[in-house]
Amino acid sequence: MGRTGWSKASQRLHYFCLILALGSFVWGYNVGVLASVLVHPGFKETLNKPNASRSGLITAIYYLGSWLSYIFFAHPVADKLGRRYAALTGMSVTCVGQAMQAGAVGPHALGMVVAGRIVAGMGTAIISTSVPLYQRYVVLNHVGFVAGLASGFWYVSFVES
């Protein structure tokens, strides 16, 4: 037992679950921010004032990435790597997709946002199939998601005020 009264294995499990909650946080943040970002003047300017169909594409393409990953990648990755490393992989893929979206500037900004949304959606599917399998700590998945969602809404409302 360590100083906290928990065994090393229990400490590692809790640290790992916090990392998984971070993955869910990124997922929730993505959902929370997008609703407000689509109408933000800076976003519209960066993407050359996208019309309704392009805004719809940006929203929907995320779910296409999730669907593709659910069908083709999420379960094979989890079976090959194990649930723990699959969840870490999903979180990493989601972060790469978010970085692509955050770095979207210039003449190819729309394409980069769309590609980033697909990649983030694929990571989300891996997270959402791997994380909840740790039933004992599944609440951290939801806490991470809600915290990300709330912080996304908070951030957007703070920036716009």
* pLDDT, tens only, 118-151: 999 999 898 888 876 665 666 777 778 888 888 8
The answer to the question of residue 6 being in a domain is no
Closest CA to 47 of 111, 137, 124, 141: 111
Could you give phi then psi for residue 132, rounded to 5 degrees?
Answer: -65, -10
Q: Domain for residue 106, yes or no?
A: yes
27: three-class secondary structure by DSSP: helix
pLDDT above 60 (res 77): yes
**Domain presence at residue 32:** yes
Q: Is residue 3 part of a domain?
A: no
Q: CB-based contacts of 15: which residues, under 8 Å, 6+ apart? A: none
What is the domain extent for residue 120?
12-160
5 in a structural domain: no
pLDDT tens-digit readout, 5-49: 788 888 887 787 787 777 778 777 777 777 778 888 888 888 888
pLDDT of residue 134: 61
Query: 144: part of which helix (H) or strand (E)?
Result: helix 138-160
pLDDT value of position 136: 63
Residue 126 lies in a domain: yes
Residue 1 reports pLDDT greater than 60: no
Instruction: Tell if the pTM clears 0.85, that is, is over it.
Output: no
Do the domain assignments include residue 140? yes
- Across all residues in the chain, what is the average pLDDT? 83
Is residue 7 domain-resident? Answer: no
The enclosing domain of 106 has a CATH number of: 1.20.1250.20
Contact present, 120 and 23 (Cβ < 8 Å): no
The tally of domains found in the chain comes to: 1
